[in-house]
Amino acid sequence: MKFLVRVLLVFLLAVGVSLESRAEEPDLKRKIGQMIMVGFRGVSIDEESRITHDIEAGRLGGVILFDYDVPRGIFERNIHSPEQLKRLTGQLQSRAAVPLFVAVDQEGGRVSRLKERRGFPPSPSQRFLGRLDDPVVTTDAAVMTARTLVDAGVNLNIAPVVDLDVNPDNPVIGAPERSFSSDPAVVARNAAIVIGVFREAGILSAVKHFPGHGSSEADTHGGFVDVTDLWSERELLPFRDLIEGGLVDMVMTAHTFNGRVDPLFPATLSERTIGGILREQLGYDGVVISDDLQMAAIRDTYSFEETLEKALKAGIDILLFANNSVYDEEVALEAGAVIARLVERGVVSPERIDESWRRIMKLKERL
């Protein structure tokens, strides 16, 4: 009799564990939500804030913060001071059932959302660090940035830039001094130091802009950018070295078009670029995040639904809507609904959603 009772208990426990495991896995809507990152307006949030409702409803898995609101042309967005930013990030995380990616672009130099005039420490540009190419100086700068991000409650830096500085007049990479160097070894060496320091501090990083934006002559914020006759495979080398070294947490794509790689789509929407070059050729199986899908290079050419469909089929795991080229506070709701319809119609498979969800959750375990 005792033996039968023990067998029954083991069976019930097994069934219980199985049911519990199933209950822990979210529904399709929440899996899709983890694939969406948005920007929003506000230096604080409360119960009535739209971003609060989106977080609590599971419509997004991350937010990106800015100091400057481009559509309105004012420094009135998310970041006013270290103390205020820490309160805001705490408010955001307190609403989330699953930890959020809280992201900023804190590259250093001109692309610093946490500015000295707001009370944050100074941060040198990547070109400055690359020209010195001194591991001590790069480490010290990275430590300062990491401490600043930790204190602020930011857990994802959309940096470092690993584009090659092959065109110094490039309006989006070269001219703003965002690249370490035109030498792939210098870029990879300094990026590895930065990423290593971030990891020790518990900060994730996103290397950008794959497969290389340094050779372009125009800015994808402003429209279509063709690098067919400019880009070379040499621009892949820093990505390759960092991937082989196991140093890549996340890769951000470029919106550049290269007809020699894909005659139809820019990199963010290109299965040949993400699936072919990044996944197969370079062997990367981690999280891929798009650059802002509201930038003109995408928005002016593709419909909202086409953008999402092509991005998912290309292999994008996190769809970024920065809300800082145009502003749409409904974008998380709209994107989730479109993706759900794509799955319902069989255009995108549930397995494709699961693939991204698993990558994201694996990375979030480190938070």
The count of other CB atoms within 10 Å of the CB of residue 38 is: 25
Per DSSP, the three-state class of 39 is strand
Nearest Cα residue to 161 out of 213, 230, 114, 116? 213
Confidence (pLDDT) at 25: 84
Other residues' Cβ atoms within 10 Å of the Cβ of residue 66:
19
Confidence (pLDDT) at 71? 97
Catalytic sites, residue numbers: 221, 291
Measured CA to CA in angstroms, residue 353 lies from 31, 200, 263, 275 at distances of 7, 30, 26, 15
Length of the chain in terms of residues written: 367
Q: Which of 196, 170, 194, 193 is nearest to 182 (CA)?
A: 170
Give the per-residue pLDDT at 272.
Answer: 98
Domains belonging to the chain, first-starting first, are: 39-364 (3.20.20.300)
Look at the alpha carbons of 96, 58, 81, 292 in this order and tell me if their dihedral is positive or negative.
positive
Q: Give residue-wise pLDDT tens across range 22-35.
A: 347 899 999 999 99
Res 13: pLDDT? 39
For residue 9, pLDDT beyond 70: no
What is the model's pLDDT at position 22? Answer: 37
pLDDT at 285: 97
Instruction: Give the largest Cα separation in the chain, rounded.
Output: 84
Q: Position 108: which residue type? A: G
pLDDT in tens, 230-276: 999 999 999 999 999 999 999 999 999 999 999 999 999 999 999 99
Q: How far apart are the first and last CA of the chain?
A: 48
The candidate with the shortest Cα–Cα distance to 194, out of 248, 122, 131, 114, is: 248
pLDDT above 80 (res 4): no
Q: What is the pLDDT of residue 21?
A: 38
